[in-house]
A and B are shown apart, each in its own frame.
Chain A
Amino acid sequence: MRYSVRIAVGPVQFRIGSDWPDPVAALGRLYASYPQDPDRPADATVRLFAARPWRRWIRPSVHIGGDFVIPDALPLPLAMGLLAAEMGMNLQVALGWRRHMLLHASAVARGGRAVIMSGESGSGKSTLAALLGEGDWRLMGDEFTLIDPAGGDALAFPRAVSLKNEAIAEVAARVDPARLGPLLADTPKGAIRHLIPRADAIAAMHEPARPALILFPRFGGAAAIEPMGEGEAFVRLTEASTNYVALGEAGFAALTRLVRETPAFAISYPDSAAGMALVEQLWADVSR
């Protein structure tokens, strides 16, 4: 392809090709500080392409392709090329990665132990992880948490955090502007702005952490904590996993072990400060 860039996030080496320079340049800026091994072959390929040659210039629209594609996925305008790249990368991991059990969950770690936060988009799991990651937590990832089926450890996937809507201002107020990507307004998911994780989170991205707490956050309502049984946590996490079925027995064993060994709670919170306080409170409980 005309333009391309290579990015390694956690255990996955991507190559992203594009018919336009802009998405690749934007990705290059977001991931400039990530470790690079130019000799490492790519595990996953993403292609950002124009469906017809002239659509490269006339009303350019970016189709998302790669090893795995979603049929009939709608293209995005070129101004949202960075979002297209992010969606393409997520798709390859969600559908193609088999080494670990994938949870659609954010995670932060402290002292080699991880808090895994699973929830639908809008639950605030990304925002909570991003904000905790600015404090004395290591950000492991805002989108995927990987579970090693052999040992049960959680592995990080610290891609650039995808901040959405109100979370943008909240996080932007606390970080160096150099760590923020361009503002993508009016995307299908609302306003989006990427946050480059802290250098320590990137440097530690290959270090596993032991799952210590599983949270199912829900943004809105009064602050509340509700303990969750193994069965419910199990079912919810099967729904949050993109490769649970494909892993077969190994996936079942990994997930069973995770919910047996890790206390789980549903939490609801009215604002980020309250949410972070709940995480700290539960962390103190399980650390005792």
Chain B
Amino acid sequence: MGGRVPVSAVRTFVDLLAGRRDPAGLAPRDWDGVIGVARSEAMLATLAHRLSDAPLPPTVAALFADQRAAAKVAQAQALWEAEMARRALAPAGIEFVLLKGAAYAAASLSCAAGRQIGDLDILVLASDIRRAENALLNAGWEWVKSDPYDDLYYRQHMHELPPMIHKARDRMIDVHHTILPRTHRTTPDALALIAEAVELSSGFRIFNPAAMVCHCAAHMLADGDLQGGLRNLWDFHCLVLDFLKDDPDFYLTVVEEAWIHGLADVVKRGFRLSHRLYGTPLKAYSSPMMLAFDRQWSDDFYIRRLLTRDDWGRMTNPVLEQAFYIRSHWMRMPPMMLAKHLWTKWRKR
């Protein structure tokens, strides 16, 4: 057999993002799977931006142009929602830090191009959280969850208030007081994160570069089951490239920051994974501290989990998916509490 070696659609998708694959070399129908996978990962507009200058089949080019235009509108809407939160919280004197998608868009970071932004995520001081809640309720947001167990669970154990939705604009807000659940094995220093946040010319505050990369890695690898992992890893890759421009030793800066929050291993894994999938450049150091990115056997599980999609966009490895789901809960709470939580959830089914 000669000719083309078949490459899975998700591999092709990752290779296109990484710039390892020439889009002109794809057969017309290869795009079916690439588009399907990109949609499943909520990254079609990201791919559309990445390939905005590439020669594409005309119908793909048209679809990608639609995606870029739609993402632009969606980002403007997401930033407007951030402005609405500012107007609700400012009179109470509550400052907040924008997190994730809204922060990337507010700072025009490279990963913001085409990035889907779901809920508005903001971080306030733990001491402000109740006042923030009241201010938002007074400004038209309301509770989404009516279940008392869920509500209490969020308040006692989570790093955020139960989600709220604005009754007129139908948009969700997640108000965080730290970046990982309270019961998580790792407890980042939220006060330091907020104190060292930077203010943009628009008046919005975002994490400083090192903290932003730490949060991105924590969100991706320490919280949750790697759903949306390819997108989070793409954020990580783009953030690192952006910040390396001003700080060639950004690796040291970010790992130092990560130590403060107990996230050093998580961040180093983020570097290794994004190097393997997206080709993020890595640099090892022996001074002023030892920093190495040697491949670890466990990384393979993450890579496999991130690439477990077929050409129809379906998850193909339920066992691995389940394993990462269990892992996310295992990190998130101590064993006895986990048992009680699962028991309660199971009884309510």
A-side interface residues toward B, CB under 8 Å? 1, 13, 15, 17, 38-43, 45, 47, 49, 65, 67, 96-99, 246-250
Residues of A within 8 A of B29 (CB): 38-39, 41
Are A43 and B313 within 8 A (Cβ)?
no
Which residue of B36, B60, B69, B76 is within 8 Å of A67 (Cβ)? Answer: B36
Residues of B within 8 A of A17 (CB): 312
Residues of A within 8 A of B313 (CB): 45, 47, 67
Q: Is B109 engaged at the interface, CB distance under 8 Å to the other chain? A: no
Q: Which of B24-69 contact A (CB under 8 A)?
A: 28-29, 31-32, 35-36, 39-40, 57, 59-60, 62-63, 66-67, 69
Are A41 and B57 within 8 A (Cβ)?
yes
User: With A15-B32, A67-B313 as given contacts, are A43 and B73 in contact (CB-CB < 8 Å)?
Assistant: no
State how many angstroms separate the Cβ of B36 from the closest Cβ of chain A: 5
* Assembled-state Cα–Cα distance A65/B313 (Å): 10
User: With A45-B36, A45-B312, A67-B313 as given contacts, are A249 and B73 in contact (CB-CB < 8 Å)?
Assistant: yes
Q: Is B87 engaged at the interface, CB distance under 8 Å to the other chain? A: no
- Chain B at the A interface: SS class: helix
* Assembled-state Cα–Cα distance A67/B36 (Å): 7
Task: Give the residue name and chain of the B residue nearest to A47 (CB).
Answer: B312
Q: Is B77 engaged at the interface, CB distance under 8 Å to the other chain? A: yes
State how many angstroms separate the Cβ of A284 from the closest Cβ of chain B: 38
User: With A41-B60, A42-B32 as given contacts, are A248 and B312 in contact (CB-CB < 8 Å)?
Assistant: no
Are B66 and A47 within 8 A (Cβ)?
no
Residues of B within 8 A of A47 (CB): 312-314
* Assembled-state Cα–Cα distance A39/B76 (Å): 36
* Assembled-state Cα–Cα distance A49/B313 (Å): 13
* Assembled-state Cα–Cα distance A1/B36 (Å): 13
Q: Is B200 engaged at the interface, CB distance under 8 Å to the other chain? A: no
Q: Tally chain B residues at the interface, Cβ within 8 Å.
A: 24
Task: Give the residue name and chain of the A residue nearest to B42 (CB).
Answer: A67
* Assembled-state Cα–Cα distance A96/B77 (Å): 17
User: With A1-B312, A67-B313 as given contacts, are A43 and B35 in contact (CB-CB < 8 Å)?
Assistant: yes
* Assembled-state Cα–Cα distance A98/B67 (Å): 7
Residues of A within 8 A of B57 (CB): 39-41
Task: Give the residue name and chain of the B residue nearest to A99 (CB).
Answer: B66
* Assembled-state Cα–Cα distance A67/B39 (Å): 6
Residues of B within 8 A of A1 (CB): 312
Residues of A within 8 A of B312 (CB): 1, 17, 45, 47
State how many angstroms separate the Cβ of B105 from the closest Cβ of chain A: 15
Q: Is B198 engaged at the interface, CB distance under 8 Å to the other chain? A: no
* Assembled-state Cα–Cα distance A15/B63 (Å): 15
Q: Is B70 engaged at the interface, CB distance under 8 Å to the other chain? A: yes
Query: Please, could you name 18 A-B residue pairs with CB atoms under 8 Å apart, sorted by A?
Result: A17-B312, A38-B29, A39-B29, A39-B57, A40-B59, A41-B31, A41-B57, A45-B32, A45-B35, A45-B36, A45-B39, A45-B313, A67-B36, A67-B40, A98-B70, A99-B66, A246-B70, A247-B70
Which residue of A39, A43, A247 is within 8 Å of B28 (Cβ)? Answer: A39
Q: Is B190 engaged at the interface, CB distance under 8 Å to the other chain? A: no
Q: Is B303 engaged at the interface, CB distance under 8 Å to the other chain? A: no
* Assembled-state Cα–Cα distance A56/B312 (Å): 18
Are A98 and B31 within 8 A (Cβ)?
no
Are A41 and B28 within 8 A (Cβ)?
yes
Residues of A within 8 A of B32 (CB): 15, 41-42, 45
Q: Is B137 engaged at the interface, CB distance under 8 Å to the other chain? A: no
State how many angstroms separate the Cβ of A248 from the closest Cβ of chain B: 4
Extra 9 A-B pairs, beta carbons < 8 Å, given A1-B312, A15-B32, A40-B57: A17-B312, A41-B59, A42-B32, A47-B312, A49-B314, A65-B314, A248-B73, A249-B73, A250-B69
* Assembled-state Cα–Cα distance A97/B69 (Å): 12
* Assembled-state Cα–Cα distance A65/B40 (Å): 11
Which residue of B35, B60, B76, B314 is within 8 Å of A248 (Cβ)? Answer: B76
Residues of B within 8 A of A249 (CB): 73
User: With A1-B312, A45-B36 as given contacts, are A250 and B73 in contact (CB-CB < 8 Å)?
Assistant: yes
Residues of A within 8 A of B74 (CB): 246
Residues of B within 8 A of A43 (CB): 35, 59, 63
* Assembled-state Cα–Cα distance A184/B66 (Å): 36
State how many angstroms separate the Cβ of B72 from the closest Cβ of chain A: 9
Are A248 and B59 within 8 A (Cβ)?
no
User: With A43-B35, A45-B36, A45-B312 as given contacts, are A98 and B28 in contact (CB-CB < 8 Å)?
Assistant: no
State how many angstroms separate the Cβ of A241 from the closest Cβ of chain B: 14
Task: Give the residue name and chain of the B residue nearest to A46 (CB).
Answer: B312
* Assembled-state Cα–Cα distance A38/B32 (Å): 11
Are A13 and B73 within 8 A (Cβ)?
no
Residues of A within 8 A of B62 (CB): 99
Residues of B within 8 A of A98 (CB): 66-67, 69-70
Residues of B within 8 A of A250 (CB): 69, 73
State how many angstroms separate the Cβ of A15 from the closest Cβ of chain B: 6
State how many angstroms separate the Cβ of B311 from the closest Cβ of chain A: 9
Of listed A17, A38, A40, A47, residue having the most chain B CB within 10 A? A40
Task: Give the residue name and chain of the B residue nearest to A39 (CB).
Answer: B28
Residues of B within 8 A of A38 (CB): 29
State how many angstroms separate the Cβ of B145 from the closest Cβ of chain A: 15
In the complex, per-residue mask of B258-298: 1 if CB is within 8 Å of any chain A CB, else 0: 00000000000000000000000000000000000000000
Residues of B within 8 A of A42 (CB): 31-32, 35-36
Which residue of A65, A99, A246 is within 8 Å of B73 (Cβ)? Answer: A246
* Assembled-state Cα–Cα distance A285/B76 (Å): 43
Residues of B within 8 A of A15 (CB): 32
Task: Give the residue name and chain of the A residue nearest to B313 (CB).
Answer: A45
Residues of B within 8 A of A99 (CB): 62, 66
* Assembled-state Cα–Cα distance A249/B70 (Å): 11
Residues of B within 8 A of A39 (CB): 28-29, 57
* Assembled-state Cα–Cα distance A65/B39 (Å): 13
Residues of B within 8 A of A45 (CB): 32, 35-36, 39, 312-313
